[in-house]
Amino acid sequence: MIEKVHQFSRIDSGVMEKIIDEDHVNINHIIVAPGAAVPVHVANSHVHQIVIRGTLSLSLEDGPEHNYPAGNIVAVPFNTKMAIRNGGIEPLEFFVVKSPNPRSMPPTKKI
């Protein structure tokens, strides 16, 4: 078998799980309960957030919050401060694709 198969959780409660951690890419799966948030942080690579369900509420660099419903892919540049929350009534589920893997990127700014 040439391909690799990776599993991820299929639940409604909050989860942050690393699915793939390879030299060229890092993929995380995140589920955020309604009203909850991901801790404010700085993008440690070039990030693409793939919204699977719910609505991702995102503020970059302390700017205004924008909402991205399921079916959107949001690209966030390296070294950008971000605040992610679920302001909706259903679970927010999204994948975070980081390329290259953050371990090959320079240090990020402090927040």
Decide: pTM greater than 0.85.
yes
Taking only the tens place, the pLDDT of each residue in 71-98 is 999 999 999 999 999 989 999 999 999 9
Taking only the tens place, the pLDDT of each residue in 47-79 is 999 999 999 999 999 999 999 999 999 999 999
Q: Please state the rounded mean pLDDT for residues 100-111.
A: 95
- C-beta separation of 44 from 61 below 8 A: no
Give, in words, the CATH class of 15-104: mainly beta
Taking only the tens place, the pLDDT of each residue in 10-52 is 998 889 999 999 999 999 999 999 999 999 999 999 999 999 9
User: At residue 26, what are phi and psi to the nearest 5 degrees?
Assistant: -130, 130
Q: Are strands 15-21 and 26-32 parallel, antiparallel or unpaired?
A: antiparallel
Q: Give the pLDDT of residue 89.
A: 92
- Beta pairing partners, 15: 31
